[in-house]
Structure 1
Amino acid sequence: MSDAAVPATVGILGVGRVGTVLARLCRDAGLEVRAAGSADDPAPVCACDVVILAIPLGRYRSLPRELLRGRLVVDAMNYWWELDGARPDLDDPTTSTSETVAAFLEGARVVKALGHASVWELENLARPAGDPERRGIAIAGDGAEDGAGDVATVAALVDAMGFDPVIAGPLAAGVAFEPPTEIFGSDATADELREMLARFPRSQRGRVVARARGGLR
């Protein structure tokens, strides 16, 4: 459990199934939630303490980056080639998709979380702290090693929503829970997530990433 304060207001950009269930989880935690779809005014959402991105990743360039400048942004998006089409910018093993989003949202403080959980897990498996059936949510963000700051704030939010936060490392580490990895859609406990994160470098995807980044010969 994080010692950071839970943000009082949560904005959600995206009102599909994922955005809707995330909004419900935040409201159940007693938080003020503002949500907006593509046809809505995003300004009230972007003024919240934390803004969750829950639109298809292929549309990330439609995000209101000027409104998000300086904001804490949670990237819950994923790349699906079936939906997004062939996108070399989103299928590049030298970087994570969240780093790509962060580069576009210049000035925003991007943390990756919530995107690897299945919708079924989000809808059905939220539990109070200490429940043995509680599931884990992996979090990646720069400054994670400090145990404070933005990553700690997102961890507090995840905990309030009914899941155990698992800190994976800096934003680049988010590649370990993008599709198609062992973690993605696993609906795992926190301990299971930690084991999967430890195994990632030895996985097929982990070896591809390491080779692309010059860490595997």
Structure 2
Amino acid sequence: MSGPLAVIGSGMIGSAVARLAVAAGMDVVVSNSRGPGTLAGLVAELGPRARAATPAEAARAADLVVAAIPLHVYGRLPAEALAGRTVLDTANYYPERDGRLAELETGELTSSALAQRHLAGSRVVKAFNTITPHQLGTLARPAGAPDRSALPIAGDDAASAEAAGLLDRLGFDAVRVGPLAESWRIEPGTPAYIRPYLGDIPALDVADFLAWTYRTPGLAVPAEQVRRLVAAAVRQAAGEARLPSAS
């Protein structure tokens, strides 16, 4: 990709993606629901390649957009401004945070398919949802590095190719899971979700878990291992026991 990357959401995952993009020499437009003025600190940290905008402005500024927001606010994504764009959806479904969503509880849709229904004019790809924010930074490696990790993605072929190109530039191989209908294979509770990148995880509450991840460098997970983990996934009832959210 030659143009800028837009990031909607300035939380831990969105900020981590923005840092990797700037480190890779990309221009980045960051945004959140609170307005550009609240992003001054992040933009100052990122440097001259970054600028702040509203979500709609960010969407119009780039062909590739990372939506790093909690699932329960997916309806706030600016659908009109995102039309024609490829949107990388990082959200995971946590009923205790997002509320019980009937389409997900019954398995009628995956969480990213729910986002795709809202973003009817966009191409949605599930990405960046299986790794915690700190490990997204610590595990990034140049192409060809022997300890390079892979991340799974799900979406149609053309959009997935764009997402894979971004992941490669940011420091990860991409493993294509299939279309959005198959993105359940990388949702919370599945073998490829979070644990492979962290190893043994102590029993902690959400706050302590996230603090612990920032003291843990993480484990390299090569593409072949990700493929095996994805293939081993078994669809389970929504809302079963899961790790805390990484978003």
What range describes the TM-score normalised by the shorter chain of this pair?
A: 0.7 to 0.9
Q: Spell out the pairing of 1:1-217 with structure 2 (5 A cutoff).
A: 6-40=1-35, 41-47=54-60, 48-142=62-156, 144=157, 149-185=158-194, 186-187=196-197, 188-200=221-233, 203=234, 205=236
Cα deviation digits, residues 65-123 of structure 1 (max 9, x gap): 11111211111111122222222234342321111110111111111111111223202
**Distance between the aligned counterparts of 1:126 and 1:18, measured in 2?**
14
Structure 1, 30-39 or 74-83: larger mean CA deviation: 74-83
How far apart in 2 are the matches of 1:169 and 1:192?
Answer: 17
Alpha-carbon distance between aligned partners in 2 of 1:7 and 1:154, rounded to the nearest angstrom? 13
Segments of 5+ residues of structure 1 without an aligned counterpart are 1-5, 210-217
Query: Secondary structure, in 3 states, of the residue corresponding to 1:24?
Result: helix
Q: In the alignment, what sits opposite 1:213?
A: none
Query: 2:231 is matched by which residue type in structure 1?
Result: A
SS for the counterpart of 2:117 is helix
Specify the code of the residue in structure 2 equivalent to 1:44. Answer: E
Q: CA deviation at 1:160?
A: 0.4
Task: Give me the whole-angstrom Cα distance separating, in 1, the residues matched to 2:82 and 2:126.
Answer: 15
Give the secondary structure class of the aligned counterpart of 2:102: coil
Identity %: 37
CA shift for structure 1 position 131:
1.4
The letter of the residue matching 1:127 is R
TM-score, normalization by structure 1:
0.84
Q: Work out whether residues 168 and 174 of structure 1, in 8 Å CA contact, stay in contact via their aligned partners in 2.
A: yes
Taking only aligned residues, the RMSD between alpha carbons, in angstroms, comes to 1.6
Change in 2 beyond 3 A, CA 1:7/1:97: farther
1:159-205 CA-to-partner distances (Å, cap 9, x unmatched) read 000001111111111110011211111323211110012212xx363
User: If the length of structure 2 is used for normalisation, what is the TM-score?
Assistant: 0.74
Number of aligned positions between the proteins = 195
SS in 1 for 2:101: coil
CA–CA separation in structure 1 for the residues paired with 2:26 and 2:232: 35
Structure 2 stretches lacking a partner, 5+ long: 36-53, 198-220, 239-247
Cα offset, 1:7, TM superposition: 4.5
Letter of the aligned partner of 1:173 in structure 2? E
Paired AA for residue 55 in structure 2: P
